[in-house]
Amino acid sequence: MSGWVAVAGLGPGDDALITPEVQQTLDQATDIVGYFPYVARVAPRKGLTLHASDNRVELDRAAHALQMAAEGRRVVVVSSGDPGVFAMASALFEALGSGPEEWLDLDIRILPGITAMLAAAARLGAPLGHDFCAINLSDNLKPWDLIEHRLRMAGRGGFAMAFYNPRSKSRPRQFGRALDILREECGGDTLISFARNVSKPDETLNTVTLSAATEDMADMRTVVIVGNAQTTRLGRFVYTPRSAP
């Protein structure tokens, strides 16, 4: 039987958000590859080998998955959310481009999942119901100046925004700088929502104005959504209208 590799999105945490396509592919796999907490979401069974690895070894993990597929194994690389949004799909192609040419003939599939910003938006109401940007606030793989520039362009374009990786222990201060830029570009009355551990038992949601936002409202488990000038509260919901003036 010939091998394959699939990069699959497990969604934000609740198994009811895993697509049947992903579940069926997991059921056919011989090997699961990924970051510890995502591999831990796959039920062990006979004939299935779990290869859990630490964060920040994405390229090694991707090359290992491709190598096993080349050897005839059926490999699923698991990502949280959607694999194409700040997750493992791009890393897999980077490893593919650095590997032996015959890897290009492998059966490679990317299986979409519910990405964190859309799960968060659904819990909040519809804050991304108009044009929006998705920005990874981590400067591990790009200069911080570029992030600041993108925040300004997004603000001047009147986009709503969703931020991944807003803040970590090693980057405690940059999110405060991002909030300053957003207040300058969008005004202090614009709504900002902090959605932490969406779809998990300890989910929390918090919406304030940019004026009232502070950097400690976010951590690595938080998706941050900034509205546009029309974004409004309605009862317990936050939504962005479909129309713009």
For residues 157-186, which are near a copy of itself according to CB under 8 A? 157-159
Per rule CB under 8 A, is residue 3 in the interface with a copy of itself? Answer: no
Report 215-244 residues binding a copy of itself (CB under 8 A): 232, 234-235, 237, 239-244
Would strands 132-136 and 232-234 be described as parallel, antiparallel, or unpaired? Answer: unpaired
Please identify which residue in 41, 51, 150, 177 interacts with a copy of itself, judged by CB under 8 A: 150
Which range in 14-22, 37-45, 65-73, 176-184 contacts a copy of itself by CB under 8 A?
14-22
By beta-carbon proximity to a copy of itself, the closer residue of 64 and 130 is: 130
Whether 62 contacts 6, CB under 8 Å: no
Question: How far is Cα 93 from Cα 35, in angstroms, rounded to an integer?
Answer: 17
The yes or no reply on residue 209 touching a copy of itself (CB under 8 A) is no
Burial group, residue 235, by CB count within 10 angstroms (0-12, 13-18, 19+): exposed
92 binds a copy of itself (CB under 8 A): yes
Rounded least distance, CB 191 to a copy of itself, Å = 13
Residue from 83, 165, 179, 224 binding a copy of itself (CB under 8 A): 83
Q: Which stretch binds a copy of itself (CB under 8 A): 31-39, 48-56, 119-127, 166-174?
A: 119-127
- Cα separation, 104 vs 97, in Å, equals 8
Only one of the segments 35-43, 112-120, 174-182, 214-222 lies at the binding site for a copy of itself (rule: CB under 8 A); that segment is 112-120
H helices present in the chain, as ranges: 20-28, 36-39, 58-70, 88-98, 116-124, 144-156, 174-186
Residue 111 sits at φ, ψ, to 5 deg, of -110, 115
Pick the binder of a copy of itself from 16, 54, 55, 201 (CB under 8 A). Answer: 16
**With CB under 8 A as the contact rule, which of the stretches 39-47, 134-142, 169-177, 201-209 interacts with a copy of itself?**
134-142
HEC states along 197-211?
CCCCCCCEEEEEEHH
Taking the CA atoms of 96, 99, 101 and 107 in sequence, report the sign of the dihedral they define: negative
Number of residues that bind a copy of itself (CB under 8 A): 74
Distance in angstroms (rounded) separating the CA atoms of residues 90 and 127: 27
